[in-house]
Chain A
Amino acid sequence: MRGSVVSVPGPGRLRQPHLPRAAGARPVVAGPLALAAAMASGLAALVHVSVVGPHLEESRLFAGALGAMAVAQAGWALLVLASPSPSVARAGAALNGAIVLVWGLSRTSGLPVGPHPWTPEAAGVLDLTATGSEAVAVYGALALARAGGTPGRAHRGARRVLLRAGAVLTVSGLGAALLPHPALHSPGVCCEPHLVGHLAAFVGMLTTLTGLLLVGLERPAGRRGALDPAPDRAANAGARERRSS
Chain B
Amino acid sequence: MIAAAPQVLQNPCCEFINRLPWGFFLVVHIALFAVAVFLAYRSFEVGGQGLGWGFSLFALAEAMYATYHVNVTQFLFAHTVAEVLDGLAFVVLFAAAVGRAGVRGAERALGAA
Contacts and interface: CB of A to CB of B under 8 A. Distances in A.
B63 A233 contact: no
A228 interface: yes
Interface in A57-102: none
Contacts of B52: 215-216
A224 B34 CA distance: 24
B41 A205 contact: no
Given A177-B26, A227-B100, A239-B110, A202 B48 contact: no
A198 B106 CA distance: 49
A229 B26 contact: no
A216 B53 contact: yes
A216 B26 contact: no
A229 B40 contact: no
A2 interface: yes
A93 B15 CA distance: 53
A37 B5 CA distance: 50
Most buried by B among A178, A202, A215, A227: A227
Interface in B10-47: 23, 26-27, 30, 33-34, 37, 40-41, 43-47
Given A205-B66, A227-B51, A229-B102, 19 more contacts: A5-B110, A199-B70, A201-B30, A202-B66, A205-B30, A205-B62, A206-B63, A208-B59, A209-B37, A209-B60, A212-B59, A215-B45, A216-B49, A216-B52, A223-B45, A225-B46, A225-B47, A236-B107, A236-B110
Interface string A213-245: 101100100011111110011001001100000
A215 B30 contact: no
A209 B26 contact: no
Given A2-B107, A202-B63, A212 B48 contact: no
Contacts of A213: 56
Most buried by B among A2, A202, A212, A233: A212
A1 interface: yes
A202 B65 CA distance: 10
A229 B23 contact: no
Interface string B90-112: 00000000011011001100110
Contacts of A205: 30, 33, 59, 62-63, 66
A240 B107 CA distance: 11
Nearest to A171: B30
A170 interface: yes
Nearest to B31: A174
Nearest to B102: A229
A177 B30 CA distance: 12
Interface in B50-78: 50-53, 56, 59-60, 62-63, 66-67, 69-70, 72
A223 B41 contact: no
A202 B68 CA distance: 10
7 contacts: A170-B30, A174-B27, A178-B26, A198-B70, A199-B70, A202-B72, A208-B59
Contacts of B27: 174, 178
A225 B107 CA distance: 15
Contacts of B63: 202, 205-206, 209
B40 A212 contact: yes
